[in-house]
Structure 1
Amino acid sequence: MQLLQQTIEKIVCLDQKIAAEARERVDHLIKPAKSLGRLEDLAVQLAGITRNLKPVFDQKAIIVMAADHGVYEEGVTSNPQEVTVGQTLNFAKGITGVCAIGQVSGARIVPVDIGIKVEMPSDVGIIIRKVKNGTDNMAKGPAMTREEAIKAIEVGIEIANEEIKKGVQILGTGEMGIGNTTPSTAILSVLLRCDPLGITGRGAGLGKGGLEHKAEVIRRAIHINEPNPDDVIDVLEKVGGLEIGGMAGVMLGAAANRIPVVVDGFISTIAAIIAVGIEPKTKDYLVTSHASQEPGAKLASELLGLEPMLMMNMCLGEGSGAALAFPIIEAACSILKNMPTFAEIGMEI
């Protein structure tokens, strides 16, 4: 809890003076006003985050949190839980979807075992920071204790701090965990105070009971655990996942270090809602990448209050959308660095 509190206390608002200077510059670049749309807003945000009118993001990393879920035993997915292990190993090998996209955008992939059910090898490029061997079955009781939820958040903070010390200038969040759309949807259902059926999706593959069974499991978990929607850590504890807490911690850690963090799809957005619920100023440091195909994704983005940049019909997770968004972020930086103003080239308008 001490690390979390220290991190919260370090998070401040964007530098409004630098942001205003960036806005002034963007508005007078050699182009029609507002013609670069959201790219202009992104440039201003990045300048305000970094306190630099010409921000640079040469060193990028996507932290992929991996964990298992006790609710898997309720048959909410058709995929074997062993896939969590296999894909986490594949991150280390550099052969997953986010790894392939990351090669294009120059992002290093950092896999973290924060709660995989089995013990993972420590000599293959996976960071082992296991809080516990998967969450407990939230349909029968709390997914974890409050202490474990806070520890998961603090693991994310620690990993973010370590990467930033290595020179990383921008982070992305990703996840791996078979069944993790179930706790993500449960969290959203609690925070929206809505029935889960309308926001429950297929995830990576539905179990035999279909959407109705998955929604009923979520409904039962909420009924049994009574998570407090006014306390996001309580919600994470009761019906959440370790990787969701870890990603929320990455976002808090990045904000405390004035580092932008790119949010992936549905599950990462849920983590962002947790992070912002813990410290609202964290929102200033978030860049949302793509609109997931999961049914709850749009409502999650609306609850967060940030509109994703990309509509690519993706729902892979892993941080794949974050990797895809990095070149757009670099483009926003490039207009600040490489476009002159009308005054600088001696033109009057």
Structure 2
Amino acid sequence: MFAIGFDITPVSHEFDDEIQSIIDNKTKPLGALGELEHLAKQIARVLGKDQPKISNPKLLVFAADHGISAFGVSIAPSEVTTQMVVNFINGGAAINVFCRQVGFDLEVIDCGILKPLEGVDGIIDQRLGAGTAPIHRQAAMPLKSVMQGMEMARERVEYHHQQGCNLIALGEMGIGNTSSAAAIMATLMEMDCIDCVGRGTGIDADTLKHKQTLVEQALHIHESELTDPYNILACLGGFEIVQMTGAMLAAAERNMLVIIDGFIATAAALLAVKINPNVRDYMIFGHQSDERGHCLMMEHLHARPLLKLDMRLGEGSGAALSLPIIQAAAAFYNEMASFSDAGIEI
């Protein structure tokens, strides 16, 4: 089957010296703003060196169910996915609170929860099915669903781009999705399953061992099919992971910054980078999750998280909390006086 292509322009380094000079000549000691300086340089590379500004930031939460959740890998049943989606729509979840606090516009996308929320306002319908198949028994979805999900994500990102958005953040909701993410991690990073599978929603030691066994089974039965990112998604992915992957690639294609959230979103980032390595330079990593394996993912991607708060909630919560830091980096670059502006001689 023909794979969807993403035409992502490599981030230019042509003006790196000029950007660095602007940063270095602000009224501060060299390097005194630490990671904010690296972040400002990335923002200027992507959005332009002359007054780069974050406009109309949008946080997209992709929701879907996973067949493996029916086999005892989580403390919560699949029905909780739908219940949390309703909570998002009603404004009562952590992500709602954080988005209101920092000024993120939140959008909730149904990629394939078990039952559609008919007649409910405030949710975008991009359903690929009623949850995936259990990955330890069969492929999660047909390859055509991967392609369809990628195209849906691209269309949604294009809509926001047309509305003047130049930064999106990505979050997710899906009981069982840490199992899929761990399987994807183990495949792409060629690691043992035990180093990738974590406690997710807070499972006990026996449940963790069971979860590791099921993920190992998934990797074994699909071993011959795990030949490229699209087939990996078809065999091991979730409908929300497919669309997050597509959204990352589509945003980079439109020269937009992308904030990556935690473990699930970073699994999608691994896939996106495998599909088109140029996407990596558009990614900002909001935080380092407390989920087992996330720090290893970050090291693999040479990523430096903006926050490390021992969070493992998902929903895009870490990505949301990072927005003020990103805005601060752009603001100091644009507004802070230079030594010559301030009449300071050193």
Same fold (TM over 0.5): yes
- Report what 1:283 is aligned to: 280
Do the aligned residues in 2 keep the contact of 1:62 with 1:171 (CA within 8 Å)?
Answer: yes
Q: Which amino acid aligns with 2:129?
A: K
User: Is residue 261–residue 286 contact of structure 1 (8 Å, CA) maintained in 2?
Assistant: yes
Q: Which residue of 175, 179, 182 corresponds with 2:179? A: 182
Aligned to 1:149: 146
Question: Counterpart amino acid of 2:222?
Answer: N
Determine helix, strand or coil for the equivalent of 1:62.
strand
- Could you tell which deviates more after superposition, 145-154 or 321-330? 145-154
Which AA in structure 1 matches 2:159? E
State the alpha-carbon separation in 2 of the partners of residues 134 and 99 from structure 1: 24
- Give the SS at the match of 2:210: helix
Letter of the 2:4 partner, please give it: L
- In structure 2, which of residues 170, 174, 180 is the aligned counterpart of residue 173 of structure 1? 170
Distance in 2, matches of 1:106 and 1:311, equals 21
Matches within 5 A, 1:92-103: 92-103=89-100
The 8 Å contact of residues 78 and 208 in structure 1, kept in 2 or not, is answered as no
Q: Percent identity between the aligned chains?
A: 35
Structure 1 residues not aligned, in runs of 5+: none
Structure 1 match to 2:253 = 256
Distance 1:326 1:226, change over 3 A: same
- Look up the SS of the partner of 2:109 in the other structure: strand
The SS at the match of 2:116 is coil
TM-score by length of structure 2 reads 0.95
Answer yes or no: is 1:4 the counterpart of 2:4. Answer: yes
Count of matched residue positions in the alignment of Structure 1 and Structure 2? 346
Match of 1:212 in 2: 209
In 2, Cα distance between the equivalents of 1:257 and 1:224?
37
Counterparts in 2 of 1:101 and 1:3: CA distance versus 1, 3 Å:
farther
Give the Cα separation in 2 of the matches to 1:23 and 1:2. Answer: 42
- 1:75 maps to which of 59, 64, 72: 72
- The alignment yields a C-alpha RMSD, in angstroms, of 1.7
In 2: Cα distance, 1:134 partner to 1:237 partner: 13
- Superimposed CA distance per residue, residues 224-258 of structure 1 (whole angstroms, 9 cap, x where no aligned partner): 11165651222111111111111111111110111
Contact 1:290 1:310 in 2 (8 A): yes
Could you tell me which runs of 5 or more consecutive residues in structure 2 were left unpaired when the two chains were aligned.
none
Mapping of 1:11-160 within 5 angstroms? Answer: 11-160=8-157
User: What does residue range 322-341 of structure 1 map to in structure 2 within 5 Å?
Assistant: 322-341=319-338
Return the TM-score normalized by structure 1.
Answer: 0.95
Secondary structure of 2:4's partner?
A: helix
CA contact (8 A) 1:191 1:229 kept: no
Q: Distance in 2 between matches of 1:171 and 1:27?
A: 28
User: Aligned partners of 1:43 and 1:314: how far apart in 2?
Assistant: 25
Q: Any conservation in 1 of the 2:287–2:306 contact (CA below 8 Å)?
A: yes
Cα 1:108–1:2 change in 2 (3 A) is farther
The one-letter code of the counterpart of 2:328 is A
